[in-house]
Amino acid sequence: MNWNIVDADEFEKSWLLLADIYIHSTKYDMAGDLLKRCHNHNKSCCKAYEYLGYIMEKEHSFRDAALNYELAWKYGNRTNPTIGYKLAFNYLKAKRHVDAIDVCHKVLAAHPNYPRMRKDILDKARVWIVTRTISLCASAPASLLPLPESREHLDPTRRKF
């Protein structure tokens, strides 16, 4: 059957369902072809981006997974906390810790009790940033570190001649 505008929604649903079956059977290449077909006809198909993110995550391609989850988050109007969690998780795995923290804040603002968001992602990203900052400061040459401010001009006992 050829694609037409009248049956567009049914084609999209059937491609997504078949892709879901292929994903559960670990036939990621066949699922990817169907998901790309969805994107050819509907560039804002949130579910297709979510499935592609899942496939990339299973293949340990966290940067690509984050890119796909980012598009799913965008086209889902940044409202689905599950996609937000997966996006933040893949940002964390892709070493984009600041982005992970930003997404965590957005999800937690809308869903303050979302399970595991704070412990699994937010706290780990914060700890990584702090330890990385400390290790960079410790290994920096003394010439790059800021000099302590001179407080001589604040000393009231000091005389100026």
Q: What is the distance between the alpha carbons of residues 82 and 108, in angstroms, rounded to a whole number?
A: 12
Specify the pLDDT at position 84.
97
Structure tokens at 147: 């000099």
DSSP 154: G
User: Is the CB of residue 125 less than 8 Å from the CB of residue 97?
Assistant: yes
Would you write out the chain's pLDDT as a tens digit for each of its 161 residues?
A: 676 667 788 889 999 999 999 999 999 999 999 999 999 989 999 999 999 999 999 999 999 999 999 999 999 999 999 999 999 999 999 999 999 999 999 999 999 999 899 999 999 999 999 888 887 777 766 555 555 565 555 555 656 55
Number of CB atoms found within 10 A of residue 121's CB:
25
Specify the pLDDT at position 157.
63
DSSP 5: S
Question: Hey, where are the domains in the chain?
Answer: 8-138
Entry field: residues in the chain: 161
Specify the pLDDT at position 127.
93
Number of CB atoms found within 10 A of residue 59's CB:
11
Give the architecture (CATH level 2) of 8-138. Alpha Horseshoe (1.25)
